Structures are given as C-alpha cells and as structure tokens.
Amino acid sequence: MADIAAYRVALITSSFAPHIGGVEEHVAQVARELTASGHVVEVWTVDRGVVPEHPFLAADGAEIAVRYLPTPLPARSLSAMVGFAWRWPSAWRAWRRAHRRLRPDVLHVHCFGPNGIYAEALHRQHRTPLIVTSHGETMGDDNGVYARSALLRARLRRAITSACAVTAPSRYVLNDLRSEYGLHTGIVVPNGVDLDVQSAQVPKTGDYFFAVGRLGHPKGFDLLIDAFARLGDEAARLIIGGDGPERGALQRQAEAAGVAERVSFTGRLSADQVDGYMRGARAVVVPSRSEAFGIVALEAWRAGAPLVMTSRGGAAEFVTDGEDGVLVDPTDVDALSEALAQVGNDPKLADRLRANGPARVRDFTWPAVVAQYLRLYDQLPTEPSR
C-alpha cells in the first residue's frame, strides 16, 4: 500500500448527515479520528435528495469532504428497468470520478446497501482493497429490505467473498453473516462513544425513565410503552427521544393505554441533550427487538445512569447482567415491566449500576475503534489500484 502513516480512506456509508442514527454517528466519529491522525478521508454516501446545511468538520475545524452519490439499482418491472438503464451510466461516472479524485488506498463500506454494491464494483474495476463493516443491517432494517431484495443478498455475499476483511460490532452480527451470507471469518470491532460530550440543561420532569433512538419497529418502543403501562407507578414518567415512522402510532398507543399524560416524545435530540436526559433518569431503557450492539448503552454508562438493556442481540456480549446493566428480553413485556420496577425499587442495584457503568465505558472509545481499523489497513494488499 501507500505510506502506512497516511492512508487515503473512502468511508462508504449507506446513510449520513443530515440523517441521524448509529451508522451515521459511527462513520462521523471514525472520519474525525482518522483525520486527526493525519489520514486523508472522504465520506461517500447514498444521495437521498437532502444535504446538511453545514459542512462536516474535523475536530480542528477543517472540512471533511462528503460526497452524496447516486445509487440506482435494477428492479423487475419494465418501467423500473428502463429508469435504471437511463440513470446508471451517469451514476457510475459519479462513483468513478470520486475514486479518481481521492485515489483511495481502501474502500471501507459501512452498512451494506446500494453503497456497498457500487463500492464492490469499484473494487473489481480498480483492485482497490475492500473492507465491509456490517452494522446489523441484515437483521434490523425497518422495511425488511434484505428479506425482499435478492440482488442485495447476492451482492453482499459477493462482497464478503471479495473483501480483505469483514467486521461487525458483535459476534451476534458476524454469526448472521456466517449462517446467511457465506462469511467464514470476521472480526469484532465494537462501537465507541465520545467521553467528552457536554451535558445540556433539559426540562425538569420529575421521576422518569428515558429511551432514545429511531422510532421504528425494530427498536421496540411499543414494547416499552406496554411495559410502562403495566408498571402501575403513577409517579413515574417515560420520556422517548428521537423520531421515526412509528411516532404517531406510538402516541396513539400511549393514549389507548391510558398513559399519554405520562409519556413524552421530545423529537430529535442533540448528543448533549441526550446526555442531559440520561443523567436525570431513573433508568435508561433499550427495548430493541434486535440490537447489533447498542451505542445507547454506552451513552447511559457515560452518563452514570442505570441501564435496562435488551438481551436480543449483541449487548449480552458486553453488558453483565446485574452488574452494569439489567438484561431482559423486551418481547416478554411482563419481564420488561418487572425490570423497570426492579431498578426503581432496589436502591442497591441502582447504585451498583450507576457506579459500574462509567468504569466500563472507558473501554469503548473512538480512538480504540479506529486503532483496530488501522491494524486492518496495515494488513491490506500492497498492489496499487488502477
């Protein structure tokens, strides 16, 4: 490869700002850490028709290039095929132009979707080394894209075969790739969290549970509302941060359950607002039906908040039940309600969780994440790309 002290890295993500979520946060933090270490980084992401108002900046204020690239894909209907044939040549030119301008040493795909299909095509044409990082997209998508798209499943299998390395934040995700997509090996690179976030002042709302994330079916906020309604604690409130397609349905669910006056929806929150709400919470709750990792768990630890965490996914690999979190299957709504009551009624347990979380979170920093990625970059083939 090129000078190992200064890699040229294309972080190729399925989504980026102004959209908010786990993969967007992960890629942003990795881009900043790589840039701070002297590497040349660009973010290439799927063009969804919207761009942020402000440029994406490194820690020192320098702008990091973000390229919003078209990703048309073929479909079965005649009109869709005609549309693809019309759009594909210009889209492919845009991707090749991005490659020519950056001349990357590595194409690092995050969350394999249409972005991954185009990245893998660049890899085949230019022999640029490819790394695939899955963020659980094969299991936790709101729209079940992988279940519906034979093309996406086939191209992920091909990319896994082509890639120099495949990573995921948990063994849970790697096991899915092994059983469904032909992965033979794989490396766990966990998520990180910014330990230096500033906590914002948030409204005083009494005694409350707090949950935050994209309001979609996989995140299980409907399960949490049911569990909260069964709690029978009239003094407690539930605050749900974030936005998404199920917000209206969740609000109607709270009304039907008779707890609408005690359930609040804040909409999107900044990182410092999330920290502010967590620091005042009786517990932070992650009720996901499936969770590849769970950055919210790290945020709760950072804030010193007791954590009630889904056992369905990768969290069981790093959360120790009863020590730094309470693990529960949220699809068992009675068990989830009991876990909420347990944290609220057992001061010794709550104090232990508050003490152990901040100690554990120091193991999950973005510099540590990037150090693992750099070790992979160091092992990539030295053959120059065309």
Q: How far is CA 360 from the centre of its chain?
A: 20
Res 357 pLDDT > 80 = yes
What pLDDT sits at residue 142?
65
Residues 342 and 229 in one domain: yes
Res 81 pLDDT > 90 = no
Residue 182 in any domain: the answer is yes
How far CA 332 is from CA of 12, 18, 269, 305, in Å, comes to 37, 35, 28, 23
Res 128 pLDDT > 50 = yes
Average pLDDT over residues 111-128: 97
Q: What is the rounded distance in angstroms from the CA atom of residue 114 to the CA atom of residue 181?
A: 16
Q: What is the rounded distance in angstroms from the CA atom of residue 116 to the CA atom of residue 138?
A: 13
Residues 162 and 124 in one domain: yes
What pLDDT sits at residue 15?
95
Residue 199 in any domain: the answer is no
Domain that holds residue 253: 208-361
Cβ pair 339, 328 in contact under 8 A: yes
Q: What is the rounded distance in angstroms from the CA atom of residue 269 to the CA atom of residue 250?
A: 18
What pLDDT sits at residue 2?
45
Q: Name residue 101's amino acid.
A: R
353 Cβ neighbours under 8 A, 6+ residues apart: 283, 306, 307, 323, 324, 325, 326, 343
Q: Of 84, 91, 69, 219, which is closest to residue 151 (Cα–Cα)? A: 84
Higher-scoring residue by pLDDT: 384, 140? 140
Highest-scoring range by mean pLDDT, 148-152, 234-238, 378-382: 234-238
Res 3 pLDDT > 60 = no
CATH of the domain at 251: 3.40.50.2000
Q: How far is CA 113 from the centre of its chain?
A: 14
The packing angle between helices 22-36 and 366-378, to 10°, is 70
pLDDT in tens, 49-61: 999 999 999 989 9
Average pLDDT over residues 257-265: 97
Query: Which stretches does DSSP call E strand in 165-306?
Result: 165-168, 187-188, 208-212, 237-241, 263-267, 283-286
Residues 145 and 47 in one domain: yes
Q: Of 385, 66, 332, 77, which is closest to residue 224 (Cα–Cα)? A: 332
Residue 386 in any domain: the answer is no
Average pLDDT over residues 88-102: 97
**Rounded to two decimals, what is the model's pTM?**
0.92
Angle at 239 between CA 328 and CA 54, to 5 degrees: 110
Residue 75: pLDDT band with limits 50, 70, 90? confident
Residue 198 in any domain: the answer is no
Residues 12 and 68 in one domain: yes
Q: What is the rounded distance in angstroms from the CA atom of residue 201 to the CA atom of residue 304?
A: 16
What pLDDT sits at residue 77?
75
Residue 271 in any domain: the answer is yes
Residues 178 and 289 in one domain: no
Residue 203 in any domain: the answer is no
What pLDDT sits at residue 78?
74
Q: What percent of the chain has pLDDT over 70?
A: 97
Residue 202 in any domain: the answer is no
pLDDT in tens, 296-345: 999 999 999 999 999 999 999 999 999 999 999 999 999 999 999 999 99
* Residue 59: burial class (beta carbons within 10 Å; 0-12, 13-18, 19+): exposed
Res 116 pLDDT > 70 = yes
Torsion of CA 370, 175, 286, 295, to 10 degrees: 0
Residues 250 and 312 in one domain: yes
Residue 383: pLDDT band with limits 50, 70, 90? low
Q: What is the rounded distance in angstroms from the CA atom of residue 360 to the CA atom of residue 320?
A: 10
Residues 104 and 169 in one domain: yes
Residues 373 and 311 in one domain: no
Residues 345 and 373 in one domain: no
Residue 14 in any domain: the answer is yes
Q: Of 202, 215, 193, which is closest to residue 273 (Cα–Cα)? A: 202
Residue 117: pLDDT band with limits 50, 70, 90? very high
What's phi and psi for 371, nearest 5 deg?
A: -60, -35
Res 94 pLDDT > 70 = yes
Helix (H, G, I), strand (E, B) or coil at 355: helix
Res 232 pLDDT > 90 = no
